[in-house]
Structure 1
Amino acid sequence: MTHIIAMTGATGFAGRHVVSELLARGHRLRALVRNPQTAGLPPEVDVVTGDLANRDALTRLLSGASAVIHLAGALTALDREGYFRVNEQGTLALADAAQTTNVRRFVHISSLAAREPQLSGYAASKRAGEDVVGPRMAALNAILIRPPAVYGPGDRGTLPLIKELTRPVAAIPAPAHARFSLIHGRDLARLIARAVESDLQGLHEVSDGKPGGYGWADLIRTASAFRGSPIRPLFLPRAVPAAVATVAEGLSRLTGKPGMVNRGKIAELYHPDWVAREGGLSLPDPTAFDTGFAETVTWYRKAGWLPQGRGTDTRTASSRTFQ
């Protein structure tokens, strides 16, 4: 008998990588989507129309499923309540439905931001989502996964940073001494697939496995080597992006459309320690950042997201295809 794996967030950047990975492993998938017409998922994926606030849709999503991967979340919101409505209350609704339908495995994808809930509404809401699942760890056979910054072909979230790292002078909204972990989207998908297929429980911070994470000097060195000429970092005083964020929040309130730039995001960017604490979930062959950076920049340029410039991904075309 073939088992069904249910998913939320399948249409996002990480979600699409997870879909490709699980289909390649022979799993049957069922995904919760808001609009099937624009979802763009492979035809092998069964689609359930709805969102995390729709209890009937959650029941349809989970009925007969052996596992659920919870990837959906609010990355932006107009206010603190908007983050909590999705990241906490949506997780609660899914966890309740998973118990009601007797799903045997719950894989909850949180964020490394949840480690510092005082920094932003997003970070606090992601911790609140973890707090929903934590007390039900045994009942749900659950695992909590905290990824760091996820990058790779097709990702718009890290596009501004990658863009800066292709310029002669890179304007960086972060402290010069900060350290952080990274993970390629394809590798995160592989880790999630491993989590689905195992019974490992608990909270796990994941990354590409680089001990001690990265400093900005590491990224500048990689980007300079790819470009073929030195890149000079310009570390912006926090007051500069904070002022921009204040204006951006005002515009968001006027338009009713949340944006990625807000004061909470700036607080996250200027936190000095986003290094993942390695646990029991890892890969033996993660993508090194120099390889992932070259692949990502090459894809961005081919897609027209970045202008053409110096640097070339010398791997074969098939190896850099984005699924």
Structure 2
Amino acid sequence: AAFRQTNVDGSRRLMAAAQATGQCQRFLAMSSLAARHPDLSWYAASKREAEEQLLAGAGDMALTLFRPTAVYGPGDRELRPLFEWLLRGWLIVPGRPGSCLTFLHVEDLAAAVVSWLTAPGPISGIFELHDGRPGGYDWPAIAATGELVRQGPVRSIAAPQRLLGGIATANLAVSRLFGLEPMLTPSKLHELRHPDWLCDNGPLMRALNWAPQLQLARALAERRF
């Protein structure tokens, strides 16, 4: 309910407010790569529905939809524990061994927004964003990145799927009782287990004067998370 209220209802209201001015010629909405797979989770479904609401209400307005992949940086709560343990020499693998992940540092996302704001003309379309690493990251690549940064071994531990499922289910029950927003739910677990989060910066790089600058190894080495 919270995802729908924030993402769907909020997006619809913002578009209505923009249209009501009679002067808004372009509109940038922050979606998510998860919207590509709305069946995976409540969050993904809400992001896709929000996109559909915006597209339906845009009219002649130039609508730009950014679909960033997993965003991290200072203040992030979801990926920070993963990276902290990685730099201590441990990688907890919650997904499938062959899964392909992608990341985007918040500074690169902010730079893309600035490029959109300063573009000479409006652009329309749905654009994916990631850190530019060809082929993304599988779990061994993440471990290798950790080894490179810490100059030492990283041990990968596969998290038992039944244990994760039990924790996610318990979190959901607690959240319903106390009105909390847990990080790991059955819905979020579906996202973590999805095998392919590859995406393509090409269309956005051609449309805007933007390119990502911070791949994971540099961000970890400089502790920019």
How far apart in 2 are the matches of 1:279 and 1:203? 12
Aligned pairs (5 A) from 1:223-242: 223-242=146-165
Instruction: Determine whether 1:288 maps to 2:208.
Output: no
The match for 2:103 is 182
- Count of residue pairs the alignment pairs up: 218
What secondary structure does 1:127 align onto?
Answer: helix
Instruction: Determine whether 1:194 maps to 2:115.
Output: yes
Equivalent residue letter for 1:120: S
Mean alpha-carbon deviation: is it higher for 91-100 or for 174-183? 174-183
Instruction: Determine whether 1:99 maps to 2:19.
Output: yes
**Sequence identity of aligned pairs in percent?**
35
Q: Is the 8 A contact 1:109 1:144 kept in 2?
A: yes
Equivalent residue letter for 2:142: L
Instruction: Determine whether 1:85 maps to 2:14.
Output: no
How far apart in 2 are the matches of 1:277 and 1:226? 26
Match of residue 213, structure 1, among 112, 136, 143: 136
Match of residue 52, structure 2, among 119, 125, 131: 131
CA shift, 1:285, in A, is 5.2
What secondary structure does 2:10 align onto?
Answer: helix
Equivalent residue letter for 1:237: P
CA shift, 1:138, in A, is 5.1
The match for 1:113 is 34
CA shift, 1:104, in A, is 2.2
How far apart in 2 are the matches of 1:204 and 1:124? 18
Equivalent residue letter for 1:124: A
Aligned pairs (5 A) from 1:50-65: none
How far apart in 1 are the matches of 2:115 and 2:72? 20
Match of residue 277, structure 1, among 176, 200, 225: 200
For structure 2, the 5+ residue unaligned runs are: none
For residues 68-117 of structure 1, give each alpha carbon's deviation from its aligned partner in whole angstroms, at most 9, with x where no partner exists: xxxxxxxxxxxxx2211111111001000000013222100100111111
The match for 1:243 is 166
How far apart in 2 are the matches of 1:202 and 1:165? 36
Higher relative contact order structure (alpha carbons within 8 Å, sequence separation ≥ 6): 2
CA shift, 1:137, in A, is 4.5
CA shift, 1:161, in A, is 1.4
How far apart in 1 are the matches of 2:68 and 2:156? 26
Q: Is the 8 A contact 1:121 1:264 kept in 2?
A: yes
The match for 1:170 is 91
TM-score, length-scaled by structure 2: 0.90
How far apart in 1 are the matches of 2:212 and 2:187? 34
How far apart in 1 are the matches of 2:39 and 2:98? 21
Equivalent residue letter for 1:110: S
How far apart in 1 are the matches of 2:68 and 2:211? 17
CA shift, 1:295, in A, is 2.1
Greater Rg by CA: 1
CA shift, 1:177, in A, is 0.3
Judging changes above 3 Å, is the alpha-carbon distance between structure 1 residues 241 and 103 closer, same or farther for their aligned structure 2 residues? same
For structure 1, the 5+ residue unaligned runs are: 1-80, 301-323
Equivalent residue letter for 2:85: E
How far apart in 2 are the matches of 1:211 and 1:138? 36
CA shift, 1:152, in A, is 2.0
Match of residue 143, structure 1, among 64, 80, 99: 64
Equivalent residue letter for 1:234: I
Judging changes above 3 Å, is the alpha-carbon distance between structure 1 residues 138 and 201 closer, same or farther for their aligned structure 2 residues? farther
